[in-house]
A and B are shown apart, each in its own frame.
Chain A
Amino acid sequence: MPDSERKIRVLVAKPGLDGHDRGAKVIASSFRDAGFEVIYTGLHQTPEMIVSASVQEDVDVVAMSILSGAHLTLFPRVKELLNEAGSGHVLLTGGGIIPEDDIAELEASGVGRLFGPGTPTSAAIDYIREWFAGQEAV
């Protein structure tokens, strides 16, 4: 199999205490349909669990769904732990109920694009594909 056909591996995680996993399941299914290999970890993940799983699974992307309002804590914490684990190359992206200002703040801090309610799943898929193609080219 030539490298250009390499599967994109994505960890889809639901950190924190809120139990609303519909969004995470929708995004996991559409990633699967887009040809990604999705590792779905289920609910109530701590940042430590997410990073540990993403290291073992050697994923390209970590996608988090956060609807609890704790995004300003969780995204930077996961980013920090990824860097500590030597996984700074992993794209951290996600979505949920996140105000515009916070999205801007997080994206400025090195987190990838974040997607709000109403985003077509194709937007996230295209974003990951483009990012991945950029990585491969390096």
Chain B
Amino acid sequence: MILHQELLERFRAGKVPALARAISIVEDEREGFQDLLHAVLQREPSTCRIGFTGPPGAGKSTLVAAAATQYRAQEEHIGIVAVDPTSPYSGGALLGDRIRMNDLTLDPGIFIRSMATRGSLGGLATTTKEVVDLMDAFGFDRVLAETVGVGQTELEITAAADTVIVVLVPESGDAIQAMKAGLMEIADIFVVNKADRPGSDRVVKDLRQALHLRAGGVGKNMPAHHGVDLSRLVRQERSQDAPSSEGAGWEIPVLSTVAQNGTGVEELLTSIEAHREWLASSGALHVRRRARARGRVEDVVDRELRRVARRSGVMGANLDPHLDLIQAGEGTPYSVAREILKGLLR
């Protein structure tokens, strides 16, 4: 077993190559990675985790770079992790987010890491959450995590970030799109980037209206109609423990930016700060961190079980006699699985 002791010491001493190597070890799940994470994570999470998600080409990388530049002006140390897709055909990836961040490359207060999804479908790579943890433990004041360009249902960023920013563009669709489930529900802050393009005012307006509807604004302002109190109806419709931040006093802002020239970035940072304060004062930060911890334990158990199954060899050639049974109609996938699990969990 490899203990990575020397690496740990350099990591704790703040050596950048040690962080970079630790990330590789975790990303590749090389031998000893669990112990490395265990050693590094024995502390309270402290960094401010900000997630950026949205469709491809919305300007996430440029916005992240603009935000990081402003944070640097406040002397903060910033970790950035940017995810791009792995090819399902070759297993390779072209990670191009650094292109938008070239001005930050030489700043010793900024660390940028590109990750490939490696088959993960949630908008992040399998181990992006762990990499954010590593950056947290390394001591960055903020960690900015950028997803791949997403569609409507890649929502894993909520498990990695305290504050989720959904970045859209003026072409992002109409009022109905803004009311749909999924991506539109996870934002703590909406940003309409490339706001110098035509149509941006309309998207901002549609978003605000959709948020107003969702927050029960319509029912709230309506007197009991035909004896029915609509506001209660609307409220009941919302799921009790959904991780959405409305309803507890956070009004989701809709901001306009032009990341390319920095327009609106300051307002974005102000909103992030306000959200941070709300998270802390409302107790939501605690709730989110707890939910994150729960998800992570489930993840690790899941993955370890799969690893145990793979290592035991039952899934390989040993499966053939069972498959014969299934094909002969004498067994089913369920009876075979039950037998395998019995052996593994003994």
Contacts and interface: CB of A to CB of B under 8 A. Distances in A.
A33 B114 CA distance: 18
B157 to A, nearest CB: 21
Interface residues of A, number: 33
B92 interface: yes
Interface stretch (B14-22, B198-206, B249-257): B14-22
B135 to A, nearest CB: 11
Contacts of A1: 28-29
Given A55-B20, A57-B20, A38 B94 contact: yes
Contact of B116 (A3, A6, A37): A37
Interface string A77-93: 00000000111000000
A7 B112 contact: no
A34 B23 CA distance: 23
B87 interface: yes
Interface residues of B, number: 31
Given A56-B20, A87-B17, A40 B87 contact: no
A68 interface: no
B288 interface: no
Nearest to A13: B98
Nearest to B31: A3
Main secondary structure of the interface of B (DSSP, over half): mixed
Interface stretch (A46-54, A96-104, A106-114, A126-134): A46-54
A28 B94 CA distance: 7
B63 to A, nearest CB: 18
Contact of A6 (B23, B28, B89): B28
Given A38-B92, A40-B94, A86-B17, A58 B105 contact: no
A74 interface: no
A96 to B, nearest CB: 20
Contacts of B21: 58
B328 interface: no
A17 to B, nearest CB: 14
A35 B20 CA distance: 21
A115 interface: no
Interface in B41-60: none
Contacts of B28: 1, 3, 6-7
Contacts of A36: 92
A37 B93 contact: yes
Contacts of A35: 90-92
A36 B91 CA distance: 7
B96 A40 contact: yes
A127 to B, nearest CB: 16
B129 to A, nearest CB: 17
Given A38-B92, A58-B21, A33 B87 contact: yes
A122 interface: no
Nearest to A6: B28
Nearest to A87: B17
A53 B96 CA distance: 12
A127 B217 CA distance: 63
A35 B91 CA distance: 5
B316 to A, nearest CB: 13
26 contacts: A1-B28, A7-B91, A7-B118, A32-B94, A38-B92, A38-B94, A38-B95, A39-B95, A39-B98, A39-B114, A40-B96, A40-B98, A40-B99, A41-B99, A42-B98, A45-B102, A46-B106, A48-B106, A49-B106, A52-B105, A52-B106, A53-B112, A55-B16, A55-B17, A57-B113, A58-B21
Task: Give 10 nearest A-B pairs by CB, closest first.
Answer: A32-B92, A42-B99, A58-B20, A35-B91, A35-B92, A49-B105, A58-B24, A32-B94, A39-B95, A37-B93
Interface of A: 1, 3, 6-7, 9, 28-29, 31-42, 44-46, 48-49, 52-53, 55-58, 85-87
